[in-house]
A and B are shown apart, each in its own frame.
Chain A
Amino acid sequence: MAALLEMRGIVRCYGKLRANDGIDLDVHAGEIVGLLGENGSGKSTLMKVLFGMVPPDGGGIVFRGKELAGHRPGDAMAAGIAMIHQHFMLVEAMTVVENVMLGWKESGWWLGRHAMAARIRETSERFGLALDPFARVADLPLGRRQRIEILKAVLREAELLILDEPTSNLAPSEVTELLAILRRLRQDGKGIVFITHKLPEVMAVCDTVTVLRAGKVSGRAPVAGASRAGLAGMMVGRDVTAPQILGEIAPGPIRLDIQGLSGPGLGPIDLTLRGGEILGIAGVDGNGQLELAETLAGLRRATAGRISLDGQEITRATVNARMQAGLAYMPADRSSTALVRSMTIADNLMLRDSRRAPYRRHGLLAGRAGLTKAKALMQRFDIRAPSPATPASRLSGGNQQKIVIARELDRNPAVLIAHQPTWGLDPGATHFVLERMIALRDAGACVIYISSELEEVLSISDRVAVIAGGTIAGIMARAAIDMPQLGLWMSGRAA
Chain B
Amino acid sequence: MSETAGAPRLAFRLRRDGLFPRILVAIGLSMLCAAVLVALAGHNPLTAFRAMLAGALGSPYQIGTVLNRTCPYLLAGAGLALCFRAGVINMGSDGQIAMGGIGTAATVLAWPGPPTVITAIAALIAAILCGGLWAAVATAIHLGRRVHEVLVTLLLNFVALLFVQLVLSGPLGQPGAGFLQSPAMPRAVWLWRVPHFYFHIGILIGVFASLALSFLLWKTPWGFAIRVTGRSRAAAAYAGFSTAAVTWGVMLTAGGLAGLGGGVEILGLHHRLIEGFSTGFGFKAVTVALLGALEPAAVIPAALFVGLLETGALAMQRQIGVPSALVVVIEGITMLFILTATVRRA
* A interface, CB within 8 angstroms of B: 297-299, 318-320, 323, 329, 331, 333, 336-340, 342-343, 347, 350-352, 354-355, 359-360, 363-365, 367
Contact (Cβ within 8 A) A319 B224 = no
- Of B66-74, B235-243, B272-280, B328-336, the one touching chain A: B235-243
Taken residue by residue from 212 to 224, chain B's Cβ proximity to chain A (1 for < 8 Å, 0 otherwise) reads as 0000001111011
Given contacts A336-B232, A337-B232, A342-B231, contact A331 B238 (CB under 8 A): yes
Q: Report the separation of the CA atoms of residues A319 and B225 in the bound assembly, to the nearest whole angstrom.
A: 14
Interface of A, secondary structure class, is loop
Contacts of A339 in B (CB 8 A): 235
- By beta carbon, the residue of chain A nearest B224 is A354
Q: Report the separation of the CA atoms of residues A298 and B239 in the bound assembly, to the nearest whole angstrom.
A: 11
Across chains A and B, the number of contacting residue pairs, with CB separation under 8 Å, is 63
Q: Report the separation of the CA atoms of residues A275 and B232 in the bound assembly, to the nearest whole angstrom.
A: 34
Contact (Cβ within 8 A) B237 A343 = no
The verdict on B228 contacting chain A, using a C-beta distance below 8 Å, is: yes
Closest 6 A/B residue pairs (Cβ): A319-B240, A320-B240, A337-B234, A336-B232, A354-B221, A354-B224
Contact (Cβ within 8 A) B234 A333 = yes
Contact (Cβ within 8 A) A364 B232 = no
- By beta carbon, the residue of chain B nearest A319 is B240
Contacts of B234 in A (CB 8 A): 333, 336-337
Contact (Cβ within 8 A) A299 B238 = yes
Contacts of A297 in B (CB 8 A): 238
List 28 A-B residue pairs with CB atoms under 8 Å apart, sorted by A's residue number.
A297-B238, A299-B238, A319-B238, A320-B240, A323-B240, A331-B238, A336-B232, A336-B234, A337-B234, A337-B235, A337-B237, A337-B238, A340-B228, A340-B231, A342-B231, A343-B228, A343-B231, A352-B240, A354-B221, A354-B224, A354-B225, A359-B221, A363-B221, A364-B219, A364-B221, A365-B219, A365-B220, A365-B224
Contact (Cβ within 8 A) B235 A351 = yes
Contact (Cβ within 8 A) A352 B238 = yes
The verdict on B145 contacting chain A, using a C-beta distance below 8 Å, is: no
- By beta carbon, the residue of chain A nearest B216 is A364
The number of chain B residues with a CB under 8 A from chain A is 18
Interface residues of B in 131-167 (CB under 8 A from A): none
Contact (Cβ within 8 A) B235 A336 = yes
The verdict on B271 contacting chain A, using a C-beta distance below 8 Å, is: no
Interface of B, secondary structure class, is helix
Contacts of B224 in A (CB 8 A): 347, 350, 354, 365
Contact (Cβ within 8 A) A340 B232 = yes
Given contacts A354-B225, A363-B220, A365-B224, contact A329 B240 (CB under 8 A): no
Q: Report the separation of the CA atoms of residues A320 and B225 in the bound assembly, to the nearest whole angstrom.
A: 13
- By beta carbon, the residue of chain A nearest B233 is A336
Given contacts A318-B240, A319-B237, A319-B238, contact A355 B221 (CB under 8 A): yes
Interface residues of B in 183-222 (CB under 8 A from A): 218-221
Contact (Cβ within 8 A) A365 B221 = yes
Q: In angstroms, how far is the closest chain B Cβ from the Cβ of A317?
A: 11
Q: Report the separation of the CA atoms of residues A329 and B238 in the bound assembly, to the nearest whole angstrom.
A: 9
Contacts of A364 in B (CB 8 A): 219-221
Q: Report the separation of the CA atoms of residues A93 and B173 in the bound assembly, to the nearest whole angstrom.
A: 54
- By beta carbon, the residue of chain A nearest B229 is A340
Contacts of A354 in B (CB 8 A): 221, 224-225, 239
Interface residues of B in 297-335 (CB under 8 A from A): none
Contacts of A331 in B (CB 8 A): 238
Contact (Cβ within 8 A) B235 A338 = yes
Q: In angstroms, how far is the closest chain A Cβ from the Cβ of B217?
A: 10
- Residue among B218, B221, B223, B238 facing the most chain A CB atoms (10 A cut-off): B238
Q: Report the separation of the CA atoms of residues A55 and B224 in the bound assembly, to the nearest whole angstrom.
A: 42
Contacts of A336 in B (CB 8 A): 232, 234-235
Contacts of B231 in A (CB 8 A): 340, 342-343
The verdict on B22 contacting chain A, using a C-beta distance below 8 Å, is: no
Q: Report the separation of the CA atoms of residues A351 and B234 in the bound assembly, to the nearest whole angstrom.
A: 12
Q: In angstroms, how far is the closest chain A Cβ from the Cβ of B244?
A: 13
Q: Report the separation of the CA atoms of residues A331 and B232 in the bound assembly, to the nearest whole angstrom.
A: 14
- By beta carbon, the residue of chain A nearest B234 is A337
Contacts of A367 in B (CB 8 A): 219
Q: Report the separation of the CA atoms of residues A202 and B76 in the bound assembly, to the nearest whole angstrom.
A: 63
The verdict on B270 contacting chain A, using a C-beta distance below 8 Å, is: no
Cβ 8 A contact of A343, one of B220, B227, B238: B227
Contacts of A351 in B (CB 8 A): 228, 235, 238-239
Q: Report the separation of the CA atoms of residues A461 and B238 in the bound assembly, to the nearest whole angstrom.
A: 26
- Residue among A318, A329, A331, A352 facing the most chain B CB atoms (10 A cut-off): A352
Q: In angstroms, how far is the closest chain B Cβ from the Cβ of A325?
A: 12
Q: Report the separation of the CA atoms of residues A432 and B328 in the bound assembly, to the nearest whole angstrom.
A: 58
Contacts of B50 in A (CB 8 A): none
Q: In angstroms, how far is the closest chain A Cβ from the Cβ of B179?
A: 50
Contacts of A355 in B (CB 8 A): 221
The verdict on B13 contacting chain A, using a C-beta distance below 8 Å, is: yes
Q: In angstroms, how far is the closest chain B Cβ from the Cβ of A86?
A: 18
Contacts of B228 in A (CB 8 A): 340, 343, 351
Contact (Cβ within 8 A) A352 B239 = yes
Q: Report the separation of the CA atoms of residues A105 and B137 in the bound assembly, to the nearest whole angstrom.
A: 51
- Residue among A299, A339, A355, A367 facing the most chain B CB atoms (10 A cut-off): A355
Q: In angstroms, how far is the closest chain B Cβ from the Cβ of A297?
A: 7
- Residue among A320, A347, A350, A365 facing the most chain B CB atoms (10 A cut-off): A365
Q: Report the separation of the CA atoms of residues A435 and B219 in the bound assembly, to the nearest whole angstrom.
A: 36
Q: In angstroms, how far is the closest chain B Cβ from the Cβ of A167?
A: 25
- By beta carbon, the residue of chain A nearest B235 is A340
